A and B are shown apart, each in its own frame.
Chain A
Amino acid sequence: GQQVMQIPQYQHVQEGEDFTTYCNSSTTLSNIQWYKQRPGGHPVFLIQLVKSGEVKKQKRLTFQFGEAKKNSSLHITATQTTDVGTYFCAGDDNFNKFYFGSGTKLNVKP
């Protein structure tokens, strides 16, 4: 069945280092969304990408949707302790099914 995998599962970085999480789907997605969930909190919407090859930036965060619309990435430049949390990708396949990725847990050491 459909799977949306994210790598890495965990990432520990020193504050100031960059961080990237990758999202890979077994089938084409019509869109990709990214969410952040702080420890003990609920997912918070970050962004949605719809077009093939689309790149969007939010301050230190850069989001990319692959040309084949089967993968996506989130890159954080110069991480801060406030970036700690789990980052999830999510998307619709072409059969109106919605999937969340397995998540990447980011820990930032001060």
Chain B
Amino acid sequence: DSGVTQTPKHLITATGQRVTLRCSPRSGDLSVYWYQQSLDQGLQFLIQYYNGEERAKGNILERFSAQQFPDLHSELNLSSLELGDSALYFCASSERQVREEQYFGPGTRLTVT
């Protein structure tokens, strides 16, 4: 158990819909990262937040957005969903701003039908 929690574990939704994935980092960690893992694209870094502020952006689509709240939990919002958005979405956390050792949550499996 990494100490990072993600909800929900599974999500099935239809194309065009919007979903929100939630992540609670390990106690004391200020950085939260979001990743997408699909069979054809591998693990892709989406975005990083540090202490409530966006720190770095990866291959995040404009239809996707994220935020980190004052209590440090984070949400990833995915809108206008497409079939290709079906993937495993991981959240990870680390103590500091620099991308050092990251602790991954169990992931949310999103299926878009």
Contact = CB atoms under 8 A, between A and B. Distances in A.
Contacts of B56: 96-98
A19 interface: no
A interface majority secondary structure: strand
Interface stretch (B17-25, B40-48, B60-68, B69-77): B40-48
Interface residues of A, number: 18
Interface stretch (A20-28, A41-49, A56-64, A73-81): A41-49
Query: What size tier do the contact residues of chain B reach?
Result: 20 to 34
Interface string A51-93: 0000000000000000000000000000000000000101010
Contact of B100 (A48, A88, A99, A102): A48
B80 interface: no
22 contacts: A33-B102, A42-B2, A42-B104, A42-B105, A43-B43, A43-B90, A45-B101, A45-B102, A48-B100, A90-B43, A92-B99, A96-B56, A97-B45, A97-B56, A98-B45, A98-B56, A98-B58, A99-B45, A100-B42, A100-B45, A103-B42, A103-B43
B104 A44 contact: yes
B interface majority secondary structure: strand
B106 A48 contact: no
Given A97-B56, A97-B58, A48 B101 contact: yes
Contacts of B103: 45
A36 B101 CA distance: 13
Interface of A: 31, 33, 42-45, 48, 88, 90, 92, 96-103
Contact of B90 (A31, A42, A96, A97): A42
B50 to A, nearest CB: 12
